[in-house]
């Protein structure tokens, strides 16, 4: 997935399509507006090609930042552990939980 043209909202069609797939319950532009949630969702559900594209656009620092303030209920245990290992963050903290 190569970087394509940019839409009038500053988003590439590829990024809009990824947002549409990963956060299907929202309009893609609304999904992309909540960057932290979008990136967390991508870190958990995106395929390798999509994630490579997202990493090229946002950079690893943005992904690392998401781990520091992850929205509760998004990361599964496997993804949470993978990304902490990927960025060398030890010990792995508990996943964020929802407060009811």
Is 70 contained in some domain? yes
Is 53 contained in some domain? yes
Q: How far apart are CA 26 and CA 77, in angstroms?
A: 24
Q: Is residue 1 pLDDT above 90, yes or no?
A: no
What is the extent of the structural domain holding 68?
A: 13-86
* pLDDT-derived band at 15, boundaries 50, 70, 90: very high
Q: Give percent above pLDDT 70 in the chain.
A: 90
Q: How far apart are CA 96 and CA 90, in angstroms?
A: 16
Q: Closest Cα to residue 70, out of 28, 31, 50, 41? A: 41
Is 20 contained in some domain? yes
How wide is the angle at C-alpha 45 spanned by C-alphas 41 and 46, nearest 5°? 100
Contacts of 94 (CB under 8 A, 6+ apart): none
Is 95 contained in some domain? no
Alpha carbon of residue 67 to chain centroid: 10
Is 36 contained in some domain? yes
Strand, coil or helix: 84: helix
Q: What is the pLDDT of residues 25-71, one digit of tens each?
A: 999 999 999 999 999 999 999 999 999 999 999 999 999 999 999 99
Is 91 contained in some domain? no
pLDDT at position 10 is 63
Give DSSP secondary structure letters for 24-56: TTS-HHHHHHSHHHHHHHHHHH--HHHHHHHHH
Is 8 contained in some domain? no
User: Number of folded domains in the chain?
Assistant: 1
């Amino acid at each position: 997935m190569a970087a394509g043209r940019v839409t009038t909202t500053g988003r590439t069609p590829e990024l809009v399509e990824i947002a549409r797939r990963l956060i299907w319950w929202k309009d893609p532009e609304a999904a992309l507006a909540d960057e932290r949630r979008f990136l967390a969702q991508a870190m958990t559900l995106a395929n390798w090609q999509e994630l490579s594209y997202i990493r090229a656009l946002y950079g690893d620092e943005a992904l690392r930042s998401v781990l520091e303030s992850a929205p509760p209920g998004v990361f599964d245990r496997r993804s949470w552990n993978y990304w902490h290992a990927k960025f060398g963050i030890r010990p792995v903290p508990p996943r964020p939980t929802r407060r009811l």
